[in-house]
């Protein structure tokens, strides 16, 4: 296996997706090659290793229906997954999650192609969606994929109707639902004039801090559900209580773990909070810890030339009395944060 992978990586170093079997990570030499691919020792640009994750219940159902699969008769799927899951985490830079029970392979194929395009920088981050493409997105959430107009499906799967430079005004729709299963009616609705709710929207924001369940597996499921509703870029936001959100300020590592999850799951824009200037004098230890974690996150993101983009943010609920120079300093801190390297 390792020799085969080495040969394929050499022959198809660019413009290729190489599919490995799920058991490939059990070979130490293969893991070493995958790590070298994501962390090259020379001047080569790093590549991605994408882990495609299905619910173990769906995997068991597939295997039960096909006794010819190699895993049949060996260790059970749950035991194998328990063994391999830490190895997947070691080598994968991105993770494409399929919701439990989702068997719409035509739609999933479009989503995966779009996911890969975003990871590789082949898809514009900010894209204006026309009414026609928004309607096509809504249709995929409510009817079988085969019923969707192929030309409309192609329109939204390649990024929407037209692209705009970052310098112009952009608009995003913030989703503040505690569970995105409650958002279906909103995201698939049209106005009385027949215009889809996402028409004219450049991105959708997932407010992770407002979700009922912010565990890793639940947030992954919510993101996969959101991808079913829309092809728009996703802004991944975890707003802390001190900056007007609901996520606990401590331990701060929990917030950064979720931001890493947003990166890993291919979100196109990551909202990264920056500490207010006064925290440096009030609590220098917390200020420095947040800066260290933030710089580590940004440095890892910047290793790859493509997605995600960074939104540097600093929300000041008690901003009365701040001077213009103080506010400019905060803005500059957020702006420079998106360009940080270490």
% of the chain surpassing 90 pLDDT: 38
> pLDDT at position 165, please?
47
pTM of the model: 0.81
**Does residue 340 sit in helix, strand or coil?**
coil
Q: Report whether pLDDT(68) > 70.
A: yes
Backbone angles phi, psi at 289, to 5 degrees: -65, -45
The two structure tokens encoding residue 341: 């390297």
Domains of the chain and CATH, by start: 2-92 (no CATH), 167-337 (3.20.20.70)
* Residue 58 DSSP one-character state: H
Residue 21 in tokens:
């079997």
Q: What does each C-alpha distance from 28 to 8, 9, 76, 114 come to in angstroms?
A: 17, 16, 22, 31
Give the range with max mean pLDDT: 90-104, 145-159, 270-284: 90-104
SS3 40: coil
pLDDT at residue 20 tops 50: yes
Q: Is residue 116 a contact partner of residue 50, using CB atoms and an 8 Å limit?
A: yes
Summarised one tens digit per residue, pLDDT across range 245-270 is 999 999 999 999 999 999 999 999 99
Q: What is the pLDDT of residues 75-117, one digit of tens each?
A: 688 888 899 999 999 999 999 999 999 999 999 999 999 998 8
pLDDT at 174: 93
State residue 194's pLDDT score. 64
Kindly state the tokens that stand for 115: 């996911």
């Amino acid at each position: 296996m390792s020799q085969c992978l080495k040969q394929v990586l050499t022959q198809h170093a660019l413009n290729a997706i190489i599919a490995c079997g799920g058991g490939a990570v059990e070979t130490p030499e293969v893991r070493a090659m995958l790590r070298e691919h994501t962390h090259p020792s020379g001047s080569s640009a790093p590549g991605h290793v994408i882990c495609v994750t299905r619910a173990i219940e769906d995997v068991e159902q597939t295997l039960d229906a096909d006794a010819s699969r190699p895993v049949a008769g060996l260790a059970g799927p749950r035991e194998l997954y328990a063994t391999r899951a830490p190895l997947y985490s070691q080598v994968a830079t991105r993770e494409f999650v399929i919701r439990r029970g989702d068997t719409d392979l035509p739609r999933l194929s479009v989503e995966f192609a779009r996911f890969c395009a975003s990871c590789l920088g082949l898809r514009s981050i900010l894209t204006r969606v026309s009414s026609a493409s928004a309607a096509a997105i809504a249709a995929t959430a409510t009817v079988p994929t085969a019923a969707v107009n192929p030309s409309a499906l192609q329109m939204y799967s390649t990024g929407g109707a037209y692209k705009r430079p970052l310098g112009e005004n952009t608009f995003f729709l913030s989703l503040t639902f505690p569970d995105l299963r409650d958002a279906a009616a909103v995201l698939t609705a049209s106005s009385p004039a027949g215009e889809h709710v996402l028409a004219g929207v450049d991105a959708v924001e997932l407010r992770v801090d407002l979700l009922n369940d912010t565990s890793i597996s639940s947030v992954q499921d919510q993101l996969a559900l959101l991808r079913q509703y829309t092809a728009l870029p996703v802004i991944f936001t975890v707003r802390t209580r001190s900056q007007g959100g609901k996520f606990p300020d401590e331990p701060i590592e929990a917030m950064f773990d979720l931001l890493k999850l947003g990166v890993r799951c291919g979100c196109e824009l990551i909202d990264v909070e920056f500490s207010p200037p006064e925290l440096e004098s009030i609590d220098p230890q917390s200020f420095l810890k947040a800066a260290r974690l933030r710089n580590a996150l940004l440095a890892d993101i910047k290793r790859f030339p493509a997605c995600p983009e960074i939104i540097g943010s600093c929300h000041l609920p008690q901003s009365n009395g701040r001077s213009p120079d103080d506010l400019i300093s905060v803005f500059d801190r957020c702006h420079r944060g998106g360009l940080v390297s270490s």
